């Protein structure tokens, strides 16, 4: 199947997962939910959904609300597991990123496909890179650009460096800024101009 058609099929699945969990409604109680990452940019090659929720502040009430949301997700019959992480105050060990609360979940669709959800709650949105990407990138994503990004991302699926030394942002940067169009050219570009991973670590439930 064409990479763009595969992406569109995954996109429809991701929207169905968000709807099935009622995330737009439940997250709006805490702040402003914004779809970010591949499912917001039309660049999906695997079943991941990223959402950043912009909150007024990360006080006790938000902490409790996020914990309650996690419990609500855990009660859903299609959710296998939920992970909560407090990344505020002394728990936030990376000063380049804002404080935040995190929820991770694994959802199994009626078709038997597992989706990973990463949800961050922040009160300093200007410091959250994924929000900047979802604002600045869409206008640059022509069909040709999207196809190139999808081809490179698919080439790295299952490889040990995927999500570690190679992440989505590095691929986007290479295609958008360096004119890379193929996996082979991307590999050469990495050797010439290596880039550290961009983005806060989002733990996977285990």
Which segment of 77-81, 82-86, 140-144, 161-165 scores lowest on mean pLDDT? 161-165
Residue 161 pLDDT level (bands cut at 50, 70, 90): confident
Q: Tell me which residue range forms the domain holding 110.
A: 3-127
- Does the residue 17 lie in any domain? yes
Return the pLDDT at 193.
Answer: 66
Return the pLDDT at 163.
Answer: 66
Q: What's the number of domains the chain is made of?
A: 1
Residue 199 pLDDT level (bands cut at 50, 70, 90): very low
- The model scores a pTM over 0.85: yes
Residue 204 pLDDT level (bands cut at 50, 70, 90): very low
Tokens at residue 12, please? 């429809």
- Does the residue 139 lie in any domain? no
Residue 205 pLDDT level (bands cut at 50, 70, 90): very low
Return the pLDDT at 191.
Answer: 78
- Does the residue 8 lie in any domain? yes
- Does the residue 115 lie in any domain? yes
Calculate what percentage of the chain has a pLDDT beyond 90.
Answer: 82
Which residues fall within 8 angstroms of residue 15, CB to CB, at 6 or more apart? Answer: none
- Does the residue 193 lie in any domain? no
Q: List, for residues 2-38, the tens digit of each pLDDT value.
A: 889 999 999 999 999 999 999 999 999 999 999 999 9
- Does the residue 80 lie in any domain? yes
Question: By C-alpha distance, which of 125, 51, 116, 113 is closest to 83?
Answer: 116
Mean pLDDT taken over the chain: 91
- Does the residue 171 lie in any domain? no
Indicate which CATH number applies to the domain containing 67: 3.30.460.10
Return the pLDDT at 166.
Answer: 84
- Does the residue 134 lie in any domain? no
Residue 127, class by beta-carbon neighbours within 10 Å (0-12 exposed, 13-18 middle, 19+ buried)? middle
Return the pLDDT at 95.
Answer: 86
What are the distances in angstroms from CA 6 to CA 3, 48, 57, 150, 190?
5, 14, 38, 10, 26
Q: Find the mean pLDDT for residues 62-84.
A: 98
């Amino acid at each position: 199947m064409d990479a763009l058609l595969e992406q569109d099929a995954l996109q429809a699945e991701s929207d169905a997962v968000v709807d099935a969990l009622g995330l737009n409604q439940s997250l709006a109680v805490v702040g402003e939910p914004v779809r970010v990452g591949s499912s917001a940019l039309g660049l999906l090659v695997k079943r991941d959904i990223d959402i950043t929720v912009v909150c007024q502040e990360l006080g006790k009430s938000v902490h409790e609300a996020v914990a309650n949301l996690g419990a609500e997700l855990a009660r859903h019959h299609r959710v296998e597991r939920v992970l909560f992480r407090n990344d505020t105050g002394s728990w936030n060990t990376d000063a380049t990123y804002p404080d935040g609360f995190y929820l991770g979940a694994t959802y199994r669709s009626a078709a038997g496909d597992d989706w990973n959800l990463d949800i961050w709650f922040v009160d300093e949105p200007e410091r959250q890179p994924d929000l900047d990407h979802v604002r600045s990138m869409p206008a640059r994503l022509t069909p040709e650009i999207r196809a190139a990004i999808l081809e490179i991302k698919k080439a790295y699926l299952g490889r040990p460096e995927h999500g570690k030394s190679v992440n989505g942002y590095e691929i986007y940067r290479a295609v958008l800024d360096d004119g890379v169009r193929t996996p082979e050219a991307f590999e050469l570009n990495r050797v010439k101009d290596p880039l550290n991973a961009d983005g806060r670590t989002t733990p996977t439930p285990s």
